[in-house]
Structure 1
Amino acid sequence: MDWQTNFLKTLQQIHHPVLDAFFNFASWAGEETVYILIAAWLLWCYNKRLSYRVGLIFLTGTAFNGVLKNLFAMSRPIGVDGIESQRLDTATGHSFPSGHTQGAASFWLALMLQVRRPGVWALGLFMILSVGLSRLYLGVHWPVDVIAGIGFALIWVLAANAFIGWCERRKQLGWLWLLVTPFLIAVFIYPDYKDLVIVAGAAVGFLAGMQVEQRWLNVSVTGTWPQKIGRFVLGLVILMAIRILVKAVMPLPLPWGDLIRYGLIGFWLTAGAPWVFTKIGLMTRQG
């Protein structure tokens, strides 16, 4: 029995209903719904430029995880004697590195780089560690998966942040497609890996919408609290409609259905929603 198996078994010996609830919540906090809620608020109500950088780093960093999972193709601890695994619906694909952990680390590290406040750093570190530890407690990842997820996220965040900064300083925003295109190509190599397809589609739509907004819309996220709440609620309602209706109306085979659906969601977040908001008076254009 190796040290990783021993570690998971020892960790799971402290099972308690309170810990079960906490780690299930922590795992959920590292999933799609939470990131959509945070992204919507940041993009439409808080800070557009910060949101663009954090969102692009997060999406490409998560897509990077999908490529790594398929390259290493390591199995999970699910089914190993003595290890109890929970939330199996979130344990799709291969094990190494942990997607939940790498996604959480990519998002929070990117945000911490942009917002250098003690409270944000404390929350970010807490979230990264909580999500990573939850995947071990729930028995769906090995310790090396979590460690590697944080490590790969750190490398990607630093590299992507530097590249985005280089593009912005030289006003060469078209070069940002170099961050996204490799993962779109990866979809054709691994078309059956749904998580990669979803995040690659979202990244393409997000970047396309971001460039449309910067060139033709140039909106301001300032406004009254009723305006901000109106944007947030209406924007999310339409986003959920896109998520549900596109799948029903356009049931394309993998990977095309999810690629298009999440591409539209990414575009809605950065360009579609701001355009609608300006038309109904919930948002104004700058200049």
Structure 2
Amino acid sequence: MLHVGSWEQEFLAWVTSGQGPIWNALAGIFTFMGTEDFFLLVIPAVFWTVSRKTGIQLFYVLMVTLFVNIILKDGLGVARPVGVEGVHSREIESAMVDSHYPNDSFPSFHAQSAAALFGFMALAVRRRWAWWMAAVLTALVALSRLYNGLHWPTDVLGGIALGALTVVVARYAAPAMESRPIAFKAAAVGVFAALMAFFLGNVGTKVSGALLGGGLGHLLEASVTELDPKRGKLPRKVLAIVIGFVGILVLRVGLKAAFPSGPVWDWLRYVLIGFWAFGLAPIMFVRAKLLQGARTSPSDSFNPSPPAPPVD
């Protein structure tokens, strides 16, 4: 197990000494931006209504950065500052998601995932303001973990660096993957999902299921509709988001109550969530004419041309 320096303990004691109701609420908001719930809201919404390409790439970027994060957490075994003298830890349940708790502090997943998610969004937007926004949001998510007394400063700094590295790698890897045949992509998703299930323990079961379901769902959607969010109308997009989120909620919460407890059932539940978000839902949206696809025939468009007048 690795240990941290005394300066980090002193710094955290100082930061957490300023906790109060208003700051607690703000920290809760920014901590939420590094959670599974936030990702389930943002990534499918981007895929459905903003950019199909960016949405699926965000999904894979998150999967890769999560894989790296958990491998390092389990391998390094850095103890969290929870219970350390002078450090006031709160919202401890947000850290108790892995079987290796409390020896899973480095790197911070909240900081790493925020850097990867917001950084890749900025890369897709390609505007200076987007990079500034990504930097600010990532910093606020990282600071919320320090404020809550759940991570050491080196945890969040390491997480940010790894998240940024994921964006750099994705910048060059994504074009190469796009040119590969469908059979190669399906095999890659299957192998990566198997590695996650084997190496990542309890968390890996869910992530592996989401990756397999999302990856195969996306390949199905690409062959059937090839969603084109740019062609949709705003009211229909909003309705599609609502329906899509309801579907995710039913699968995530409803099936959890309906299925027996156990890793196999968790895996199956997340397979279905991923398959719905990136496969069945967009196909259904196009079929219901809420959204449009690149493979949509002219007769399926939202604004079909009026019939030609009869010729006398």
Tell me if TM exceeds 0.5: yes
Structure 2 counterpart of 1:98, from 98, 104, 108: 108
The reply to whether residue 149 of structure 1 matches residue 159 of structure 2 is yes
**Preserved CA contact (<8 Å) 1:202 1:262:** yes
Select the residue among 209, 229, 246 that pairs with 1:237: 246
1:219 corresponds in structure 2 to: 227
Unaligned runs of 5+ residues in structure 2 are 296-312
* Cα-to-partner distance string for 1:155-190 (whole Å, 9 max, x where unaligned): 22222332221122x334554454773453242244
Write the mapping of 1:76-225 to structure 2, written as runs, cut at 5 A. Answer: 76-92=80-96, 93=101, 94-168=104-178, 170-172=179-181, 174-176=183-185, 178=188, 181-182=191-192, 184-191=194-201, 193-194=202-203, 196-221=204-229, 222-225=231-234
- CA distance in 2 between counterparts of 1:132 and 1:180 reads 32
Residue 274 of structure 2 is aligned to residue 266 of structure 1: yes
Given that 1:98 and 1:145 are in contact with CA atoms closer than 8 Å, whether structure 2 keeps it comes out as: yes
- Give ranges in structure 1 of 5+ residues lacking alignment: none
RMSD value, Cα: 2.0
Aligned structure 1 segments of 4 or more residues deviating by more than 6 angstroms: none
Residue 62 of structure 1: CA displacement? Answer: 1.7
Deviates more, 1:138-147 or 1:275-284: 275-284
Residue of structure 2 in register with 1:55 after alignment: 59
Q: Contact 1:242/1:264 (CA < 8 Å) preserved in 2?
A: yes
Q: Which has the higher contact order (CA 8 A, sep 6+)?
A: 1
1:120 is displaced (CA, Å) by 1.8
**Identity value in percent:** 28
Per-residue displacement from partner, 1:4-47 (whole Å, max 9, x unpaired)? 10110121233333222211211112112222211132111111
Q: 1:286 and 2:312 equivalent?
A: no
CA distance in 2, matches of 1:61, 1:200: 13
Q: Distance in 2 between matches of 1:145 and 1:209?
A: 34
User: 1: distance between equivalents of 2:129 and 2:243?
Assistant: 29
Q: Which has the larger radius of gyration?
A: 2
Per the alignment, residue 306 of structure 2 pairs with: none
8 Å CA contact retained: 1:60, 1:179: no
Render the CA deviation track for 1:178-204: whole Å, top value 9, x for unaligned: 47734532422443x33x332332222
Q: 1:144 to 1:179 in 2, by over 3 A?
A: farther
The reply on whether 1:70 has 2:78 as its aligned counterpart is: no
